[in-house]
A and B are shown apart, each in its own frame.
Chain A
């Protein structure tokens, strides 16, 4: 048997096999290297070219764009700042306006803080659309990420460490009552707030009284699956009812609405990834802390979170980027005051002068700069395979 393994000689192999034969284990043949580099360089060009093209187009003007393709700045065209000037052509968009707007925001924040004691009139922020959208995007994505990470990692930690046993009957009851409140408020004309409060009160009453008779329960895995499976839900299914809900409480086109919705949209990802990090931690550390009298919150905050720092950071960055790029919810829920960057870019395109490629490119560059910086930072974690654990299932 062992002789058969050593039987074949070089001449038995085809040309292809000889070309790609590694000189030693763990090395690559010259031809193999050549092909690999050719493919990798081709793909790098494919990836980088659109970004390069957007950047150079932002330094062109109408004439240069319309006369035909020019590829290299200073060599075949003279770069101009037309696209960038268009961003600041609005009198509210200069450097002075920028500082002014920061001041106005600080003033408004102060006015909000002291509002229980003294009422101070808020100042209207300047209406530089680009700046406003940029600021909205920053506020919304940062707060939504923070909310999502706090809520999501707490839930993930609890699911990894505490045994839950929600009763099946209670869940069925909740669903029936929720449907009842929806149906009465839409078809029977009951006010939605009344229907909701009545249904909730009835649920707690029944869960306390009837709940004792229900026997079958669900486990942690069911809850985890339920939370993660929310990611399958296409946003378009929920966005119209969410719009109606926010309209009912007067929150359409507000930061809060977008923050809440973005946080929920990314909650499944956070719970899924963080659950895996928490589960892989040794439980002994937490047990000894508990014996020393630490509270659950203390254990979570002081011991568990610092231990999962790489995973936590990677998940935060991922969520931040997803929030920064979100499109569909913003289309429905932000019209003017809370308009985010994607919506502003789209509105810019629909101007009466047709698409102004140089302006558009400048805005896109502004929008992707922070994201590319984050990508390079996130790369450190990706290289470690931080996110692989969850995918392996």
Chain B
């Protein structure tokens, strides 16, 4: 039990019943438990919770400007319908023209897999657990079907799948490279601290600077790799007009910045692995692959799962790199959901802007809490078992 100020009386305090006006210091100390936490809670209530509620009002209204300020007209879920089934559909979801044979095969496999995953543990888990699994399953199904209907059918996809592409492709690349570098730096080699400082730097640099730096470097006509581009016959090629090249270049810039984050955390985790076990295994003649697989990896997996979760949460917010490097273009190819919402706001379309923002919030919460429940908690449980 933690100590509270009320439970301890001052030595030499006045006998009970003696009236004395308490000083300001005593009064503030008596209420210190409130004063310690009140500023943080107030700030969060005013600048995070209240705006989140207020945002619902925007998302459910058609907002008009008038001389007296904004006029809200309640329209139920019209703004959300616009995104899914109205004139913003191509922008948000993508073009859903015709579904190809790959799309149908993928959908069938996906439906089977999700159903199997859901019903496998239906009886074993609690009601809340089942509701959570239902939401995760529905989200996986919806996003997977959207994937089948856009990319696998040769149609352009929208900002929703762009954001997910940045999150999943970016996080996996960053995690693999970051962990590999951390593993190299945790080996007994000379000059570790030098590499550590160097590898750490990109994390600190402003995303704007990174965007411009990569824009300069990847420039085909003036950039440093001009001879290389010409050598492979791409001298006149503009990567900024090719949707996939543009997306991968955004991932390149993003990875350049965020690999250091994975690197420092994984390095600290790898250095915490007990040296005795590793050396004992070496004496027993285990190969380095075996040592990594059976001794090192199980000890760092909980940290790895957590660091991916943190990275995912931040990756959903990506806006500056696509905006600086390409302005969301070519077309809408690199536009993330945040950028989509910013553009709608610039067009004075506040209702749709808030609806997209809210959909991003829902997407982030569903994906991150699914990942937390089914991956991170599992790994933590295994580590503590």
Partner-B contacts on A (CB < 8 A):
5-6, 8, 13, 17, 20, 22, 25-28, 32-33, 36-37, 39-40, 43-44, 46-51, 53-54, 57, 65-66, 68-69, 71, 151-152, 154-155, 157-159, 161-164, 175, 178-179, 182-183, 186-187, 223, 227, 230-242, 244-245, 260-261, 263-264, 267, 271, 283, 286-287, 290-291, 293, 295-297, 300, 321, 324-325, 327-328, 331, 341-342, 345-346, 349, 357, 360-361, 364, 367-368, 371-372, 374-376, 378-379, 382-383, 385, 387-388, 391-393
Q: Which residues B176-218 have CB closer than 8 A to chain A?
A: 180-181, 184-185, 187-189, 193, 195-210, 212-214, 216-217
Tell me which residues across on chain B come within 8 A of A240, comparing CB atoms: 51, 55, 58, 345, 350, 353-354, 357
Does B171 make an interface contact (CB < 8 A)?
no
Tell me which residues across on chain A come within 8 A of B97, comparing CB atoms: none
Q: Are A40 and B195 in contact, CB atoms less than 8 angstroms apart? A: yes
User: Nearest Cβ in chain A — how far from B274, in angstroms?
Assistant: 13
User: Nearest Cβ in chain B — how far from A332, in angstroms?
Assistant: 8
Asked if A375 meets B1 with Cβ closer than 8 Å, knowing A20-B288, A388-B269, the reply is: no
Asked if A261 meets B256 with Cβ closer than 8 Å, knowing A69-B226, A360-B212, A391-B265, the reply is: no
User: Nearest Cβ in chain B — how far from A58, in angstroms?
Assistant: 11
**Residue among A235, A364, A383 making CB contact with B212, cutoff 8 Å:** A364
**Residue among A157, A162, A178, A371 making CB contact with B204, cutoff 8 Å:** A371
Asked if A182 meets B224 with Cβ closer than 8 Å, knowing A297-B28, A327-B320, A331-B342, the reply is: no
**Residue among A57, A232, A238 making CB contact with B364, cutoff 8 Å:** A232
Q: Are A368 and B279 in contact, CB atoms less than 8 angstroms apart? A: no
Q: Are A186 and B57 in contact, CB atoms less than 8 angstroms apart? A: yes
Q: Are B198 and A44 in contact, CB atoms less than 8 angstroms apart? A: yes
User: Nearest Cβ in chain A — how far from B290, in angstroms?
Assistant: 10
**Residue among A187, A293, A342 making CB contact with B11, cutoff 8 Å:** A293
Does B307 make an interface contact (CB < 8 A)?
yes
Q: Are B197 and A379 in contact, CB atoms less than 8 angstroms apart? A: yes
Q: Are B217 and A261 in contact, CB atoms less than 8 angstroms apart? A: no
Query: Closest residue of chain A to B33, judged by CB?
Result: A162
**Residue among A182, A376, A392 making CB contact with B53, cutoff 8 Å:** A182
Partner-A contacts on B (CB < 8 A):
1-5, 8, 10-11, 25, 28-29, 32-33, 35-37, 39-41, 43-44, 47-55, 57-58, 61, 70, 72, 74, 180-181, 184-185, 187-189, 193, 195-210, 212-214, 216-217, 222-227, 256, 264-265, 268-269, 271-272, 275, 278-279, 282-285, 287-288, 302-303, 306-307, 310, 313, 316-317, 319-320, 324, 337-338, 341-342, 345, 350, 353-354, 357-358, 360-361, 364-365, 368, 376, 380
Q: Are B195 and A241 in contact, CB atoms less than 8 angstroms apart? A: no
Tell me which residues across on chain A come within 8 A of B200, comparing CB atoms: 375, 378-379, 382
List the 5 shortest-distance A-B pairs measured between CB atoms, nearest first.
A158-B36, A155-B40, A241-B51, A238-B51, A241-B54
Q: Are A53 and B217 in contact, CB atoms less than 8 angstroms apart? A: yes
Query: Closest residue of chain A to B320, judged by CB?
Result: A327
Report how far A162 CA is from B38 CA in the complex, Å.
Answer: 13
Q: Are B217 and A328 in contact, CB atoms less than 8 angstroms apart? A: no
What are 28 A-B pairs with beta-carbon distances under 8 A?
A13-B287, A32-B187, A40-B184, A40-B195, A47-B198, A47-B256, A50-B210, A50-B213, A51-B201, A151-B40, A158-B33, A161-B2, A162-B2, A162-B4, A162-B36, A182-B57, A233-B361, A240-B350, A241-B58, A260-B47, A342-B320, A345-B212, A346-B324, A368-B205, A385-B272, A391-B265, A391-B303, A392-B303
Tell me which residues across on chain B come within 8 A of A296, comparing CB atoms: 5, 29, 32-33, 36
Tell me which residues across on chain A come within 8 A of B203, comparing CB atoms: 375
Main secondary structure of the interface of A (DSSP, over half): helix
Query: Closest residue of chain B to A137, judged by CB?
Result: B206
Tell me which residues across on chain A come within 8 A of B61, comparing CB atoms: 186
Tell me which residues across on chain B come within 8 A of A20, comparing CB atoms: 288
Report how far A6 CA is from B193 CA in the complex, Å.
Answer: 38
Report how far A9 CA is from B70 CA in the complex, Å.
Answer: 81
Asked if A367 meets B209 with Cβ closer than 8 Å, knowing A25-B282, A296-B32, A391-B307, the reply is: yes
Report how far A331 CA is from B345 CA in the complex, Å.
Answer: 12
